[in-house]
C-alpha cells in the first residue's frame, strides 16, 4: 500500500517538476518579448519626439516666410494692403423684387435668336 | 548485554554498548547541529550583507530620473510649439568594466575624432562607475559607436530642449542648460514654479506633462522680430526692441529685443549686448513720458484739456533754459503741447499739477519699482525719490529718470484701457481673470482724453506720429514719439539718441498697446531724419500694418471713427476735432 502511494507521489512530483520548468521557460520568453517591445516603444517614442520637433519647425512663421519670399515673383503675391479688405456690409443688398421685365426681354431676345452675350463678347474683343 | 566483571575494582565501570552508542549518536547530532547552524548562519550573514549593499543609481551626483526627466512643451496662444523636448543619446563609460583602455580610446576616436585623446584616456582609466564622455549626440553616431562593440561603453537617452523658432522668441523663452534646467527666460520661471520639483521626484517623464500655454502669438512675434531685424539694417542701429500687449488682460502678445541669441545654443546668449532691452534695459524715455505727465495733470483736475500754455519763451532754472526742439514760440493749447511735443508746455502742465503731486502720480503708475512680470531678467528703474524744481521739470519730458520699455508699455496700456493698471504676463489670462487684478490709476474720462491725444498726434498736420500713420492707414493707430539724447562724456549728445514710439490701436476701441525702441539710429536716406518719427514711428506703422489683420482688426477709413473719440471740451476749441 505504502509502496503504491510512494510511486504515485514520485510520479506526481516528476510531472510537477516538468510543469514548473516549462512554466519558467515560457515566462522567461514572455519577459524577453516584453522587454524587446518596451525597447521598441521607447525607440519609437524617441523618433516621435524628433518628428514632432520637425513638425514644429515646419510650422514656424519664420520657416514659412522665406519660402513665400522665394516664390513671391513667380506666384505674383504681395503683402495684403488695407484696401483689399472688405466687409459683408459693403456688399449691395439683393434687389427687393426680381426685375421681371428685363428677364422677359432677355428670354424673348434669346427665343428670337439674338443672344446678348455675343454683343458683349464682341464689345470686349473676345471671339 | 551488560557485562559485569565481578571481583574487579569497583572504580572501573564499563558502560554498556547501548549507552556507549547512545553517547556517540548524541555527539554526532551535536556536531551536525553545529554544522547546520554555521551553514545557515553563513547563508543568513551573506543575505544581510547583500541587503546592506546600496547600489549607486546616481549619475555623477544626479538621479537617473532627473537626467531623463522632460520639460513640458511650451505653446504659443494658438497652440504652435515654441519649445519641445527631443530625446537624444548621450555617451557614457563605466571605467571599471573597461578591459583595454588604449583600444577603447583608439576605437572611439575613429567615430568621435573631436574628443581630445589625452582627456579621453584619463577619463576611461580608473575605477569609477560612471563617467560622461559626450552628451547629446545623434542617433547616427550612436549606431556607429554601438557597432564598435567596446565593453563598458554605452548610451543613455537624455531629454534635450529644442526651440523650433530659433532666435525669434529667444528673450521670452530663455534657455536651458545641458541638464535640462531653465537658466533664463520663461524656462527659468517655470523651474521656480514647479517643474524642478517634478523632475526631482522623477515624475516628469514621458509625455505626461501638460503643455504650458503662453500669451505670445508667434505670428505677431515673427512680424515684430522680422521688422526689427529690418530696422537694424535700415537705420544702422546698434539695437532695436519692441513689445506688444493686450491692454485689457495684460497678456504680452510679442516681445523681441535685438541683438538676440539662439536658445538652441545657450553659449550665444553670453555674447555682449544680447540682454533683454524690454525688461532689463532702463533708459531715459524722452518725450513718450509726456503722455504720463499729461495723463497725471488731466486726471488731477489741475489742468483742463482746453487750457492754453505759454510756450513763447524757454523755462529758466538758474543758468539753464529749457526750450523746445520744434519751437512754435506761441501760446499752445494742451492738445498742441502734445502734438508738437513741447517741452515748455509740458513743464507748465507739470507745474500746474505741482511736483509733489506729480511724483506721487509716478509712484501710483509704479514707476519706482520693478514691473511684476515672469521673466527673471529685470532691473529696478531709477526715479529720484524727491524732485527738485529742475528735476521735476526735466522728468516731465522724460529726462533725469530711467525706466524700462515695459514700464512705459504698462503705463500706456492703463492710459487707454479706461484707467486700470494691469501687470503684464506671459501666460494666457482671460479678461475675467484679469479684472480682479485691476488697479485704478486714472479716471475713465482721462483715459478718453488720452485716446484722443494719441490719435491726434497721428492724424493731425504736424503731429509727430504722422510718419507712423502713413504706413498703418485705416488701423486707427495713435501714439507718441520720444527721442532721448544719450549722455556721452557727461553731456547730452544730439547725434546719439535712443528713439521710442509708444502707441495703441485701434483707438476708437483700443485693444493693443505697443512700445518700439531703436537705439542710435542713423538717417535712412538724406531726406529723412534721426528723430523717433522717422524710425521708431514708421517701424510701428509697418508692424501694425502687418499684424492688425492677424489680430482680427480690419482696416476702416470711416472718418466718423476718429470723430467720435474727440472729447466735447475740445470741440469748443477745435470744432473740427483734429
Q: What percentage of chain B reaches a pLDDT higher than 90?
A: 40
Long-range contacts of B99-104 (CB under 8 A, 24+ apart): B99/B151, B99/B152, B101/B125, B103/B150, B104/B150, B104/B152, B104/B153
pLDDT band at B68 (very low <50, low <70, confident <90, very high): low
| Closest among B82, B281, B62, B240 to B173, alpha carbons compared | B82
Mean pLDDT of B22-26: 88
pLDDT over threshold 50, residue A120: yes
How far, CA to CA in Å, does B442 sit from each of A4, B164, B203? 106, 42, 47
Q: What's the domain range around B469? A: 220-573
For residues B506 and B365, membership in a common domain is answered with yes
Q: Is A38 touching B (CB cutoff 8 A)? A: no
Whether residue B11 has pLDDT greater than 90: no
Q: What is the reported pLDDT for B196?
A: 59
Q: Which of B213, B248, B276 is the last residue of a domain?
A: B213
* Greater model confidence, B270 or B104: B104
What band does B271 get if pLDDT is binned at 50, 70 and 90? confident
Contacts of B84 in chain A (CB under 8 A): 49, 52-53, 56
Do B122 and B166 fall into the same domain? yes
Domain end point (choices B213, B241, B267):
B213
At residue A121, φ and ψ (nearest 5 deg) are -60, -40
**Could you give the CA distance from residue A36 to residue B573 in angstroms, rounded to a whole number?**
84
Q: Is the pLDDT of residue B205 over 70?
A: no
Which of B213, B229, B251 finishes a domain? B213
pLDDT top residue among B356 and B526: B356
User: B4 vs B30, which has greater pLDDT?
Assistant: B30
Interface test with A, best of B68, B77, B81 (most A CBs within 10 A): B81
- Which is more confidently placed, A9 or B560? A9
Q: Is the pLDDT of residue A6 over 90?
A: yes
Task: Based on the fold, state whether residues B287 and B196 are members of the same structural domain.
Answer: no
Q: B173 near B186, Cβ under 8 Å?
A: yes
Of A56, A65, A82, the CB nearest to B81: A56
What mean pLDDT comes out for the span B103-126?
87
**Does residue B571 register a pLDDT over 80?**
yes
Question: Looking at the complex, does the CB of residue B136 fall below 8 Å from at least one CB of chain A?
Answer: no
Q: Is the pLDDT of residue B58 over 70?
A: no
User: How far, in Å, are B69, B245, B363, B424 from residue B515 at the CA level?
Assistant: 38, 9, 21, 13
Any domain includes B537: yes
User: How many separate domains does chain B show?
Assistant: 2
**Whether B373 and B251 share a structural domain:** yes
On whether both B413 and B543 belong to a single domain, the answer is yes
Record: contact A56-B166, CB cut-off 8 A:
no
B521 with B237: CB under 8 angstroms? yes
- Whether residue B181 is found in the same domain as residue B248: no
Question: CA-CA distance, B111 to B105, in Å (whole number)?
Answer: 10
Residue B86 to residue A53, Cβ atoms within 8 A: yes
C-alpha cell at B292: 504720463
Stretch A103-115: mean pLDDT: 86
Evaluate whether residue B28 is within a structural domain.
Answer: no
Domain membership of residue B136 (yes or no) is yes
Task: Return the pLDDT at B327.
Answer: 74
Q: Is residue B16, in this structure, part of any structural domain at all? A: no
pLDDT over 50 at B420, yes or no: yes
By the 10 Å C-beta count (0-12 exposed, 13-18 middle, 19+ buried), B461 is classed as: exposed
Subunit contact B165:A60, Cβ cutoff 8 A? yes
Q: What angle do CA A103, A105, A108 make, to 5 degrees?
A: 110
Alpha helix (H) residue ranges in B237-331 = 290-300
For residue B340, the Cα-to-chain-centroid distance in whole angstroms is 36
How confident is the prediction for chain B on average, in pLDDT? Answer: 86
B contacts of A45 (beta carbons < 8 Å): 87, 206
Coil/strand/helix, residue A88: helix
The minimal CB distance from B473 to the residues A45, A53, A82 is found for A82
Whether B521 maps to a domain, the answer reads yes
The pLDDT tens digits for B313-349 are 888 888 888 888 777 788 889 998 998 888 999 999 9
Answer whether residue A5 shows pLDDT above 50.
yes
User: Taking a C-beta distance cutoff of 8 angstroms, is the pair B155, B91 a contact?
Assistant: yes
Q: Identify the pLDDT of residue B531.
A: 85
Statement to judge: residues B174 and B224 lie in one domain: no
On whether both B122 and B265 belong to a single domain, the answer is no
Please indicate, yes or no, whether residues B198 and B240 belong to a single structural domain of this protein.
Answer: no
**Does residue B505 contact residue B545 with C-beta atoms inside 8 Å?**
no
- Which residues does chain A have within 8 Å of residue B206's beta carbon, measured at their own beta carbons? 45
Tell whether B26 is covered by a domain: no
Q: Residue B430 corresponds to which cell in the numbers above? A: 482671460
Report if residue B46 sits inside a domain.
no
What's the pLDDT at B216? 94
Of the partner residues B87, B221, B555, the one whose CB lies closest to the CB of residue A46: B87
CATH number of the domain residue B153 falls in = 3.90.1310.10
Domain ranges of chain A: 1-75, 99-127
**Which residue carries 428677364 as its cell?**
A103
CB-based contacts of B474: which residues, under 8 Å, 6+ apart?
A82, B555, B556, B557
Do B261 and B149 share a domain, yes or no?
Answer: no
Q: Could B86 and A49 be called an inter-chain contact, meaning their C-beta atoms sit closer than 8 Å?
A: yes
Examine residue B49 and state whether it is found in any structural domain, yes or no. Answer: no
Cβ contacts of A39 on chain B, cutoff 8 Å: none
Q: Per-residue pLDDT tens for B538-565?
A: 999 999 999 999 999 989 888 888 888 8
Alpha-carbon gap: A35 to the closest alpha carbon of chain B (Å): 16
Place B208 in a pLDDT band, splitting at 50, 70 and 90. low
Which pLDDT belongs to residue A21? Answer: 95
The least confident of B25-34, B108-117, B569-578 is: B569-578
pLDDT band, very low/low/confident/very high, at B241 (cuts 50, 70, 90): very high
pLDDT at B4 > cutoff 70: no
| B303/A contact by beta carbon, under 8 A | no
Residues on chain B touching A41 (C-beta within 8 angstroms): none
Q: Which three cell numbers stand for residue B126?
A: 580608473
- pLDDT (mean) for B135-152: 85
Q: For B55-92, give the secondary structure using H, E and C.
A: CCCCECCECHHHHHCCCCCEECCCCCEEEEEEEEEEEE
Query: A60 and B164: CB-CB below 8 Å?
Result: yes
Cβ-defined contact of A82 to B474 (cutoff 8 Å): yes
Residue B207 has pLDDT above 70, yes or no: no
Both B257 and B191 in one domain: the answer is no
In chain A, what residues touch B474 (CB-CB under 8 Å)?
A: 82
Q: Are B204 and B248 members of one domain?
A: no
ipTM score: 0.74
Check if B552 contacts A (Cβ < 8 Å).
no
| B75: nearest Cα among B427, B432, B431, B429 | B427
Q: Using the predicted structure, report yes or no on whether residue B1 has a pLDDT greater than 50.
A: no
CA distance A39 to chain B (A): 12
Rounded Cα distance between B317 and B321, Å, is: 6
Q: Closest by alpha carbon to B12, among B21, B4, B20?
A: B4
Chains A and B form CB pairs within 8 A to the count of: 63
Task: Pick the residue from chain A with its C-alpha nearest to B89.
Answer: A46
Query: Model's pTM, two decimal places?
Result: 0.79
Instruction: Determine whether B127 is exposed, middle or buried from the number of CB atoms within 10 Å of its CB (0-12, 13-18, 19+).
Output: exposed
Contact between chains at A60 and B85 (C-beta distance less than 8 A):
no
Residues of B in contact with A63 (CB under 8 A): 164
Contact B156, B67 (CB under 8 A): yes
Question: Is A51 an interface residue toward B (CB < 8 Å)?
Answer: no
Amino acid at each position: 500500500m505504502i509502496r503504491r502511494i510512494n510511486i504515485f507521489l514520485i510520479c506526481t512530483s516528476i510531472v510537477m517538476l516538468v510543469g514548473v520548468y516549462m512554466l519558467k521557460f515560457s515566462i522567461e520568453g514572455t519577459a524577453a518579448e516584453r522587454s524587446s517591445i518596451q525597447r521598441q516603444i521607447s525607440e519609437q517614442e524617441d523618433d516621435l519626439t524628433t518628428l514632432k520637433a520637425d513638425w514644429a519647425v515646419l510650422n514656424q512663421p519664420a520657416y514659412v516666410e522665406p519660402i513665400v519670399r522665394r516664390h513671391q515673383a513667380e506666384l505674383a503675391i504681395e503683402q495684403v494692403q488695407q484696401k483689399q479688405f472688405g466687409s459683408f456690409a459693403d456688399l449691395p443688398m439683393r434687389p427687393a423684387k426680381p426685375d421681371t421685365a428685363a428677364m422677359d426681354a432677355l428670354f424673348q431676345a434669346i427665343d428670337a435668336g439674338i443672344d446678348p452675350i455675343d454683343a458683349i463678347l464682341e464689345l470686349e474683343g473676345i471671339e | 548485554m551488560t557485562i559485569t566483571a565481578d571481583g574487579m575494582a569497583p572504580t572501573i565501570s564499563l558502560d554498556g554498548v547501548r549507552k556507549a552508542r547512545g553517547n556517540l549518536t548524541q555527539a554526532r547530532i551535536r556536531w551536525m547541529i553545529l554544522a547546520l547552524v554555521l551553514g545557515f548562519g553563513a547563508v543568513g550573514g551573506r543575505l544581510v550583507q547583500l541587503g546592506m549593499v546600496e547600489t549607486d543609481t546616481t549619475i555623477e551626483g544626479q538621479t537617473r530620473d532627473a537626467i531623463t526627466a522632460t520639460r513640458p512643451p511650451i505653446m504659443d496662444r494658438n497652440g504652435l510649439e515654441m519649445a519641445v523636448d527631443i530625446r537624444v543619446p548621450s555617451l557614457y563609460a563605466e571605467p571599471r568594466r573597461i578591459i583595454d583602455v588604449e583600444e577603447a580610446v583608439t576605437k572611439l576616436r575613429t567615430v568621435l575624432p573631436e574628443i581630445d585623446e589625452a582627456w579621453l584616456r584619463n577619463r576611461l582609466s580608473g575605477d569609477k562607475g560612471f563617467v560622461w564622455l559626450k552628451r547629446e549626440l545623434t542617433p547616427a553616431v550612436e549606431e556607429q559607436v554601438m557597432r564598435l562593440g567596446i565593453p563598458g561603453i554605452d548610451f543613455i537617452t537624455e531629454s534635450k530642449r529644442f526651440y523650433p523658432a530659433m532666435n525669434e522668441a529667444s528673450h521670452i523663452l530663455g534657455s536651458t542648460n545641458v541638464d535640462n534646467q531653465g537658466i533664463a527666460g520663461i524656462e527659468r520661471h517655470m523651474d521656480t514654479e514647479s517643474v524642478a520639483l517634478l523632475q526631482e521626484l522623477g515624475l516628469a517623464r514621458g509625455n505626461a506633462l501638460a503643455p504650458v500655454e503662453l500669451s505670445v502669438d508667434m505670428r505677431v512675434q515673427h512680424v515684430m522680430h522680422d521688422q526689427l531685424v529690418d530696422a537694424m539694417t535700415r537705420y544702422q542701429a546698434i539695437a532695436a526692441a519692441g513689445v506688444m500687449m493686450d491692454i485689457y488682460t495684460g497678456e504680452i502678445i510679442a516681445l523681441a529685443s535685438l541683438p538676440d541669441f539662439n536658445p538652441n545654443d545657450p553659449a550665444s546668449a553670453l555674447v555682449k549686448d544680447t540682454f533683454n532691452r524690454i525688461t532689463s534695459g532702463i533708459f531715459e524715455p524722452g518725450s513718450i513720458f509726456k503722455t504720463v505727465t499729461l495723463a497725471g495733470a488731466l486726471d488731477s483736475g489741475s489742468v483742463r484739456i482746453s487750457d492754453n500754455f505759454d510756450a513763447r519763451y524757454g523755462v529758466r532754472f538758474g543758468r539753464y533754459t529749457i526750450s523746445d526742439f520744434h519751437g512754435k514760440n506761441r501760446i499752445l493749447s494742451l492738445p498742441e503741447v502734445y502734438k508738437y511735443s513741447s517741452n515748455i508746455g509740458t513743464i507748465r502742465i507739470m507745474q500746474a499739477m505741482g511736483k509733489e503731486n506729480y511724483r506721487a502720480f509716478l509712484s501710483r503708475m509704479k514707476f519706482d519699482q520693478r514691473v511684476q512680470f515672469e521673466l527673471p531678467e529685470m532691473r529696478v528703474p531709477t526715479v529720484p525719490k524727491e524732485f527738485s524744481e529742475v528735476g521735476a521739470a526735466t522728468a516731465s519730458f522724460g529726462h533725469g529718470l530711467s525706466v524700462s520699455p515695459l514700464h512705459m508699455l504698462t503705463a500706456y496700456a492703463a492710459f487707454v484701457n479706461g484707467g486700470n493698471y494691469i501687470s503684464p504676463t506671459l501666460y494666457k489670462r482671460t479678461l475675467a481673470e484679469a479684472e480682479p487684478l485691476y488697479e485704478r490709476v486714472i479716471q475713465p474720462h482721462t483715459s478718453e482724453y488720452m485716446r484722443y491725444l494719441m490719435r491726434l498726434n497721428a492724424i493731425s498736420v504736424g503731429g509727430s506720429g504722422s510718419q507712423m500713420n502713413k504706413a498703418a492707414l485705416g488701423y486707427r493707430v495713435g501714439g507718441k514719439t520720444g527721442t532721448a539724447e544719450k549722455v556721452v562724456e557727461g553731456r547730452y549728445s544730439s547725434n546719439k539718441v535712443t528713439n521710442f514710439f509708444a502707441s495703441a490701436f485701434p483707438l476708437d476701441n483700443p485693444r493693443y498697446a505697443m512700445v518700439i525702441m531703436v537705439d542710435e539710429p542713423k538717417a535712412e536716406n538724406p531726406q529723412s531724419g534721426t528723430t523717433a518719427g522717422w524710425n521708431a514711428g514708421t517701424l510701428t506703422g509697418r508692424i501694425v500694418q502687418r499684424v492688425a489683420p492677424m489680430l482680427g482688426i480690419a482696416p476702416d477709413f470711416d472718418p466718423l471713427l476718429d470723430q467720435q473719440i474727440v472729447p466735447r471740451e475740445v470741440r469748443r476749441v477745435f470744432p473740427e476735432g483734429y
